[in-house]
């Protein structure tokens, strides 16, 4: 059964708008909503914010609650060239930008043993998301624009990024299209469990000095568009 996970309850609730919930199972403050989308079973849950919470809950979703595939849906700060608030990204790979063992000769972000810099998303899921994006009915952005959908590397760290200097440093070191606080952690957990995994994010902000205000203004709409793409991707995988 595929799990659609999000960090925040508001991001999860955006997914639940498209789900008929049959039952809710709660264990150790983790609530999992079992239901159906287009008649097909799935589970939906919020992991909490940050890499530790997201890892623990992703492991529970897979190990205890029966997830056999994971789509992560939520908001992020857009950082790439040509990326605008309200746009979306289909992650082809994830990197932990705050992982630093460079003093031992590893690359910035590289996790020693097994020695990976980036964790790749599942190819079948990425293809499904591409097809879904081509037909997705978006909620219009405040300026009336239709969101663009990007594809590429995304970055994760235990930090809400809100400075142009940090964005420039991250973009210079890693490239990448967005920053968030959970994706790469869940990707690593899914990969260890040999479970297919994909992240979809919509940009609530562009991670500069105005990011907290932008986040407050746009995160709910962005979460809804991310949820639409996550559910449309789920449909493509049926």
Nearer to ligand ADE by Cβ, of 128 and 221: the residue is: 221
DSSP annotation string for 195-231: --EEEEEEEEE-SSTTHHHHHHHHHHHHHHHHHHHHH
Question: Cβ neighbours of residue 64 under 8 Å, at least 6 residues apart?
Answer: 27
Verify whether residue 81 is a known catalytic residue: no
**Candidate segments 27-35, 95-103, 184-192, 203-211, binder of ligand ADE by CB under 6 A:** 203-211
State the nearest-atom distance from the C-beta of 222 to ligand ADE, in Å: 8
Residue in 93, 110, 122, 205 annotated catalytic: 205
Q: Does 160 bind ligand ADE (CB under 6 A)?
A: yes
From the list 155, 147, 165, 158, the residue with the least C-alpha distance to 82 is 147
Verify whether residue 235 is a known catalytic residue: no
**Candidate segments 101-109, 144-152, 177-185, 229-237, binder of ligand ADE by CB under 6 A:** 177-185
* Residue 125 and residue 196 in contact, taking contact as beta carbons nearer than 8 Å: yes
Residue of the chain from 211, 227, 232, 237 that contacts ligand ADE (CB under 6 A): 211
From the list 13, 77, 80, the residue with the least C-alpha distance to 44 is 13
Q: Could you tell me the two tokens for 6?
A: 């999000």
Judged by the rule CB under 6 A, the positions of this chain that interact with ligand ADE are 75-77, 160-162, 179-181, 204-205, 207, 211, 215
């Amino acid at each position: 059964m595929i799990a659609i996970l999000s960090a925040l309850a508001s991001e999860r609730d955006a997914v639940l708008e498209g789900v008929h919930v049959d039952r809710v199972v709660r264990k150790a403050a983790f609530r999992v909503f079992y239901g159906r989308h287009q008649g097909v079973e799935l589970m939906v849950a919020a992991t909490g914010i940050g890499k530790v919470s997201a890892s623990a809950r992703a492991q529970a979703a897979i190990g205890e609650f029966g997830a056999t595939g994971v789509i992560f849906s939520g908001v992020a700060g857009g950082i790439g060239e040509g990326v605008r608030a309200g746009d979306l990204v289909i992650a082809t790979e994830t990197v932990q930008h705050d992982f630093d063992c460079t003093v031992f000769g590893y690359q910035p972000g590289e996790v020693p043993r097994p020695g990976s810099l980036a964790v790749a998303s599942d190819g079948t899921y990425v293809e499904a998301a591409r097809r879904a994006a081509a037909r997705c009915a978006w909620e219009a952005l405040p300026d009336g624009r239709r969101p663009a959908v990007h594809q590429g590397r995304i970055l994760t760290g235990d930090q809400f990024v809100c400075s142009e200097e940090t964005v420039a440093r991250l973009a210079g070191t890693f490239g990448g299209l967005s920053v968030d606080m959970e994706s790469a952690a869940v990707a690593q957990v899914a990969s260890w469990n040999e479970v297919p995994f994909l992240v979809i994010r919509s940009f609530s902000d562009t991670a500069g000095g105005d990011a907290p205000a932008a986040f407050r203004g746009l995160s709910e709409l962005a979460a809804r568009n991310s949820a639409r793409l996550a559910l449309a991707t789920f449909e493509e995988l049926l």
